[in-house]
Each structure stands twice: as C-alpha cells, then as structure tokens.
Structure 1
Amino acid sequence: MRKLLLYIFLLLLFFGGLLFGHAAIGEKGRIFIAMGDWRIQMTVVSAVISLLIGFVVLVILWWAIKRIIRMISGSRNWFGVLSRRKQSKAFFNAISACTIGDYESAQKYVNKTFPGDFDGANYMLAADIDRRVNNGRNVENLLSIAETFPESEASAKIQQAAWFIQQHQFKQAEIVLESIDAKAQQQAVVVRLWLSVLAALGKWTLVKEKLSDHKKALGDDYVQWAQQAVQGEFAEIASKQGANALKEKWESLPRAAKKDIANQIVYVQLLIDQGLSKDAEPILVELAKKSRHPAFHGLFKQLKHPAPIHAMRLIESWIKADPDNAALYSVLAHMAYNSGDYVLAEKAVRKALELASNPEDGRLLARLLEKQNAFEKANNVYKGLLTS
C-alpha cells in the first residue's frame, strides 16, 4: 500500500512537471543563501534541481547504511530481493527435507533462513528439527526467538510447553501455558497440554474444571480424560484414606457425576484394586443393568471371589438375549475361572473361541488345560497363538 502511494505521488510529480515546468523555467527569480561570509546565489530552476539531486543522494545513502548495518549484525539479507528469494528457497527446501525425514539437510537449509522475514515460522521449524537432530539442545533458545514475533508467539509457546512436558518439566510448562493469550487458550491442543500438566502435578480439581469448561473442544477425548481425572482423585483418596473413604466420596458425588460412565468404571476398578471384589460385584451389576456398555466387560473379568452369583446370572441373561456374542462368553469364562469353576470356564471359553478368535481367550484355555495336566494340548494352543 505504501509503495502504491509512493508511485502515485511520483506520477503526479512527473505530470505536474510537464504541465507547469515551463512556467518555472521562464521565471527569472533568484534564490540567495547567506551563511557568514559564504554566499550562494541560484535560479529557482537550479534550486529545484539541487533539491531533487540531494533527495536522491539521501535515499541512496539510507539504503547503503541499512545494508551495512544488516551486514554487521549478521543478517543474510544483504542484497534485498535477491537474498530474500534465496532465504525463501532455503525455507522451502528445509520443509521438503523434513517431509522425507532428511533432518540433517533440513537443519542446514533452515539455518540459511535466519533472521529472514518468515514471522518466526523458520525458528519454529528449526526448533522441531533440532529436537530430532540435537535432542533439543537449542529448542528453548529457538522458540524464545519465535515468541518475539506476534504472528508466531502463541504457536511458539504451545510448542515450548509441549517440549517441557516431554522433558517432565511440568512446572515450567505450566508457567508457559499461563502466558498464552486468552484466544489461544480455547484451542483443543492447548487444553490437552493443560490437562497433561495438571494431571502430572496431581491437581485433579483443576483438571475437572478444565474438562467442564472445554468438553466440546475435547470431543471424543473427553471420556478418557474424565475417567483419568476421577481415577486420579479417587486413587489419591484410596491410597491416603482407604476404601471406606472412597465409598463415602462416591456417595457424596452429585447424581449427574454418578451417572457418568467414566466415573462408574473408575470407582469399580478402584474397589477391585483395593481387594474388594466382593463389594464391587453388586455395584457393578446394578450399573451394568442400567447400561450394557462394553466397557463393563473388563471389570466383570477382574472379579475374583468365590461364587459371583449375581454377576454370572446377569451375563447369562445377556447371553440368552444375544447367543452369538463371543465377548459375553469370554466374560463368563473369565469370571468362572477366577471363582474356581473350571468346568464352566472351559465350556464358555471354547464357545467364545468358536465364535471369534481372541488371544486372551486362547491363553485362558491353555491355562485350563494345564490345570488338567494336558500339557501337550496347552502347548498346541500356545503355538497356535504365536503363529496367528
């Protein structure tokens, strides 16, 4: 835009000279300049010409001074457009080298782009390459330079926070994330970084707040993070205060939280982990009756106490309604095995394998055969698992 205005001004000056120049040339007026004993006398035309020549000389001097300053400061942009084209080509070559995994060449190319007019993108690319070539020796320095460009400030900080997390420097990552502007804070990638940092620092209350504020941004990852948040909070209670405190915490949750399947799975899992399989069974059965979610299958398989009657009856009722569901036979087989009913376990696992091949069920059958001292048959099952 500025160049366009300059061109318009020069055109107006040119046409003005054509239209009114003859009047100035015919003018006999003179200009006198006196400075002490120094006297200058010239016509109006010669004064105008002198000013124009002086202006052109000043422009040339200014251009030369800028090039000299850039040369002294280490800039590669010594020859204007020609140098910028070389830097742009180097930047393109660096990206191309990265796409084929030639990071050594990419680093050589990207080094030719400094400082360059890339709004900091070349420094971020250099940081990514440095991670792969030099194990991140210069990552922090490169990203700190990228942050000085308004166009790349947020992206550089996001990349720096991710680097700190990778290095398990969670406090530094938290400081960087706090400095990111409000608009960028709404991005899903930033929310996930926040969740990783807060989870690593054990700040589960803040994790839950983040989840509540950014449920839409997280999409399908919400359930996984919600489950991890509850698991972290509940695990902390269980480890410090025991199973009774865990049960009290569950009872104190609002109804909406109790309906969240992620919370349900974590609660039952922690009860089982605390050795309270018998206490977990009726809770799991009631939850599974309300929602036949496949995520409950893994919990049923972990029940380990004599005669889990209620759980078995529920799974058997599901099998009657869906007799070709291999997953349900697998659940029944594992529950029976854990409770010591090896006859039912073998019958159920063979039916599961008949409907669908599953390595977990194959290993269970092999263990059952070993208990019967049928070691050759068990070895054949193991061999079949290895070949498949």
Structure 2
Amino acid sequence: MRVLFIVAVLVLLAGTLVGELIVQDPGYVLINYRQTTVETSIWGLALITIVGFLLLHFGLRLLSYLAGRRGKLVRWNRNRGRDRANRNTERGLIALAAGEWSKAQRLLSGAADKSDLALVNYLGAAEAAQELNHPETSDELLQAALRTHPKAEVAIGLAQAQNHISRHQLENALALLMRLRRKSPRHTKVLRLLVETYQRLQDWGSLADLLPDVRRYRALPENQLEALERTTHLSRLESALSKLDEGSSSADKALALSQVWNALPKHLSSDATLGARYAALLCEAGATEQAEKLLRAQLKKQWSPELVQLLGKLPTGDSQRQLKQAKSWLDNHPDDATLLLTLGRLAMRNRDWELARGYFEKSLAQQPSQEAFNELSRLLVHLEDVEGYQRLVAENVDHLARELPPLPLPLRESAPAPESDPTAKAETQESERGA
C-alpha cells in the first residue's frame, strides 16, 4: 500500500508539472501532406503518439495471442488424431495376434497415415490381408509401406517374400530373396527363407551352396542345421542318377555319384547314413567293388551297424575275404547282433551252412530281429530241418510279434499260461471243469 501511495503521489506531481507546462506554452505543430493538413499543439502530438503506440502494441499482442491460440488448436487437433491412430494401432495389433484378420486390417490400415508406427501398421495390415486371401490388397499395402519408408526395404521385402511363398510363387520369392541377400548378406531371416524356398523347389545344389553361410551366420539352431545338411546331401545323392540318360553306363553313374560324394563337407564324409546310402546307390549303379571299398573305409573311421549290415547285402565281391575281414571285427564287437547277422550272410555266400546257422542263432540270441529270423528260417527250410524250424518259430514268435494286438491264444503244454493272465486262467478253469 505504501508503494502504491508513493506512486500515486508521483503521478499527481508529474501531471501537475505537465499541466503547468501546457498552460505556459502549449506549442504548435503543423503537418501538411498533399491535400491534408493537421494542426495541433506539441502536447497533443505527444498524446497522439503515446496513444497510437499503445494501440499498436496492444494490437500486435492481440494478434500474437490469437495466432498462438490457433497453433495450439491445430496442434491439439493433430495430437488428438495421432492419439486416436495410436490407439487403433494398438487395437489392430491385438486383433492381429488374436487372428481377427478383418478387424486387424481395418484398424491398422485406417490408422497408418497418422500413426507413429506407420511401418508397423502397413506390415500388419498386409499380413492380415494375406490371411484373408486378398493378395492384391496385401501387395498395395506393402507398396505403400515402401513409398513411405524406403529405408525399410529389407523388412518390407521379407514380408513380400513370405507372401510369395504362401502363394506358391516360388520363383518370384527366390528372385526377391536373392536381391535382399545381396543387400544384406548376413540377414538370418533372409537366409532362412532362402532355405525354405530351395527346399520347396527341390534345388538341392543351390541349397548345399547356401548352407555354409547358414552355418557361418547361425541362421538355424545347430541340431536343425545338422539334420538339414544330412537331408540336403542325401537328396543330392538320390537325384544324381536321375539327371543321367537312361542308357548311361555303370561308370558314368558311379562318376556322377562320386562327384556328389566328394563335394560333401568334411564333417559329413564319415556320416553313417550318407555312407550307407551312397554305397547302396553304387550297388544299384553296378559299382559293387567301389561300394565295398567305401564301406571298409567308413568302418575304419567309425563303427556303424548300418554299414555292417549293408556289407552283408552286397551282391558280389570276394566273399571269403569279406568273411575274414568281418571275423576280425568280432574281437572288438563280440555281442553286435548286426555283425553276427552279416557274418551269417557272408558264411552263406561261402556255402558254409552250419557256420551261417551258428551266426544267425547267435544274432537272434543277442537281439531278436525279423531279418535274422527270416534268414535262419529260410536256411532251415532249405536244409529240411523241420524240427529246428519248429523250435525256431516257437522260441522267437513272441519276440517278433510284439506289434500284434493282445488276443487270447490256446494253451501250450510246454509253456502254461501265467496265473496273472485272466484269459488264460479262465481257459484253464474251463478245461479243468470239462475234465
């Protein structure tokens, strides 16, 4: 209050002083411009100037205020639209995750222009359109995404490639993925889609060339990659003969197979499954000696019952030398049922029937198998050993019939049914009643 009072006193004193000056000498001002003349005192001009300045100042302030309010209104309206678009984006993504394709496409595509995540909107809407079987709409949305986000070419290209694969447009997918690989050679998703495309096209050669990069950049888990490598090179072996003419010689067939085999990665050269199939294909091509050499070399590197079994099925070769070689393996593998089966087959090639019979019986004793049972039963039939054949069937039928359904069977005097079997127990009681 004291300050306000002092200010009021100062204003009154200033007004009194100015009034006194005006009374003593008001002054004279004349302004003449063209046909207009303005006459006033100097104090009137000062007043007009002050009032004009104040009016101009407050007018500019008013315009600035109105302009600011308009900008705030525009920003508010823009933010309001963006907030709505972001909410619709969130709802659209939820619908996409829930498999509500129509709702997801409508929400995501409608909010794409104003959303902070426009690329996500376009990609999600394109996926929903693809699921709705609207390929043209999906392609249009992806093209719109590329126009608005040209730097996201790889992400958008991956979505396009997945669409091509799902539509079985494998050549288009391959061309697009090859372009993306040149742009981003280490991209694991690009590599995985290339793997899938080559598998669908059954282009095993190109897939084999791609696998080193898949391993280098860890595009697939190790166990899955190992299975893929084995399948790829196995398929290359299988298709090697199909590319030859029907009248090709055994030498040409063996050469085609060996080219594929020699191109195997080093860590697969001792794979038992691949080695066994390669040897079997060599036999089919008529290169039995080459198949035998391969099997012996593979078995020196790593013991494999699968390879041992195949050795016993070779149609030709030095059977005596083969039998001698197989006998030497018994020192390290005396209880190997597959080796015993192979020894029995080699003994039969040497026409040593009793030796073959002994090996077959030992194989069955170690591990009952249908092959050993069939070989021994065939031998006994040709030896006309009826008693031995009957004993063989009686001893092994239970082991070799495990896949049969459990059904009631007649009692055998040599093997009475156990008390725990309700069916057998009932039959026993019925027999006793009849007696």
Distance 2:285 2:261 in 1: 23
Distance 2:56 2:210 in 1: 78
The equivalent position to 2:361 in structure 1, one of 347, 354, 369, is 347
The equivalent position to 1:330 in structure 2, one of 321, 333, 338, is 338
Alignment of 1:1-388 (within 5 A): 28=50, 30=52, 42-58=55-71, 60-61=73-74, 79-92=81-94, 94-95=96-97, 97=98, 103=99, 105=100, 108-109=103-104, 111-114=106-109, 115-116=111-112, 117=115, 118-121=117-120, 124=123, 134=132, 137-138=133-134, 141-142=137-138, 145-146=141-142, 148=146, 149=149, 153-165=153-165, 167-180=167-180, 182=182, 184-198=184-198, 206-216=206-216, 217=218, 219-220=222-223, 223-227=226-230, 230-231=233-234, 235=238, 237-239=240-242, 240=244, 241-248=248-255, 261-262=268-269, 265=275, 267-292=278-303, 296=307, 299-300=310-311, 303-305=314-316, 316-324=327-335, 328-330=336-338, 332-333=340-341, 336=344, 343=357, 346-347=360-361, 349-353=363-367, 361=369, 363-365=370-372, 367-368=374-375, 371=378, 380-381=398-399, 383-386=401-404
Q: Structure 1: 5+ residue runs without aligned partners? A: 1-26, 32-40, 68-77, 98-102, 355-360
Shift of 1:286: 1.8
Does 1 or 2 have the higher relative contact order (CA < 8 Å, sep 6+)?
A: 1
State the one-letter code of the partner of 1:343: R
Distance 1:174 1:311 in 2: 49
Please say which structure displays the higher CA radius of gyration. 2
Instruction: Answer whether contact 1:127 1:142 (CA < 8 A) is retained.
Output: yes
Q: What are the superposed Cα offsets for residues 69-128 of structure 1, whole Å, 9 maximum, x if unpaired? A: xxxxxxxxx744245235414423543x3xxxxx4x465456433344445445555666
Shift of 1:180: 1.6
Distance 2:262 2:174 in 1: 33
Distance 1:140 1:336 in 2: 66
Question: Which residue does the alignment assign to 1:23?
Answer: none
Count of aligned pairs between the two proteins: 322
Distance 1:170 1:298 in 2: 41
Moved more, 192-201 or 252-261: 252-261
Shift of 1:259: 5.0
3-state SS in 2 of match to 1:113? helix
Q: Structure 2: 5+ residue runs without aligned partners? A: 1-48, 350-355, 382-388, 407-435
Q: What are the superposed Cα offsets for residues 352-377 of structure 1, whole Å, 9 maximum, x if unpaired? A: 426xxxxxx3x435645774576976
Distance 1:309 1:165 in 2: 56
Distance 2:128 2:137 in 1: 13
TM-score by length of 2: 0.55
Calculate percent identity across the aligned residue pairs.
15
State the one-letter code of the partner of 2:293: P
Alpha-carbon distance change, 329 to 90 in structure 1, aligned in 2, over 3 angstroms: same
Alpha-carbon distance change, 204 to 47 in structure 1, aligned in 2, over 3 angstroms: same
Shift of 1:171: 1.0
Aligned-residue Cα RMSD (Å) equals 4.8
Alpha-carbon distance change, 227 to 246 in structure 1, aligned in 2, over 3 angstroms: farther
Moved more, 81-90 or 139-148: 139-148
State the one-letter code of the partner of 2:154: A
Distance 2:92 2:263 in 1: 56
